[in-house]
Amino acid sequence: IIKIQSVYAKTISDDILYLRISSFMDTKVTSELKKFIEEHKEKTKGIILDLRNNPGGQLGQAIDVVDLFVDNGVIVSQKGKDQKDYEEFSASSVNTVTTVPMAVLVNGGSASASEIVSGALQDHKRAVIVGEETFGKGSVQRVI
């Protein structure tokens, strides 16, 4: 079995934390990200979140990742054919671990959950998006 590391971290110039998320398929994405942020919290003055070539994954992981950086407001909402299918996911200050400035790297291989993360961080004015136009899916599916 080949194990792929979903989250990779390194520091740049001692005070910039580079975080790479290769996909949101792993249920440990948020906990790994949180661990890296907390390990480097004292020195970190900025974060680069790299979502390039990230095909997406679990909506729950995407929501939880945004919640690490956003302290309130709607992260994402989804609607269906009927009003009863409307669902809203909001951020909570309890889960926020950092408020340092951020840049999010995206490209044409950034899809689905990675587009939701980058879009939510941009909407909440938590990050500047840098790169190319994303894949354009911006949607999620549910496993029933």
Residues known to be catalytic: 112, 123, 137
C-alpha to C-alpha distance for 4 and 75, rounded to whole angstroms: 27
3-state secondary structure of 61: helix
What is the CB neighbour count within 10 angstroms for residue 117? 29
> How is residue 111 written in tokens?
């899809």
3-state secondary structure of 90: strand
The backbone region for 143, taken as left when phi is positive above 0, alpha when psi lies in -120 to 50, beta otherwise, is beta
Identity of the amino acid at 124:
H
Angle, CA 74 vertex, CA 69 and CA 79 arms, to 5°:
135
C-alpha to C-alpha distance for 98 and 83, rounded to whole angstroms: 35
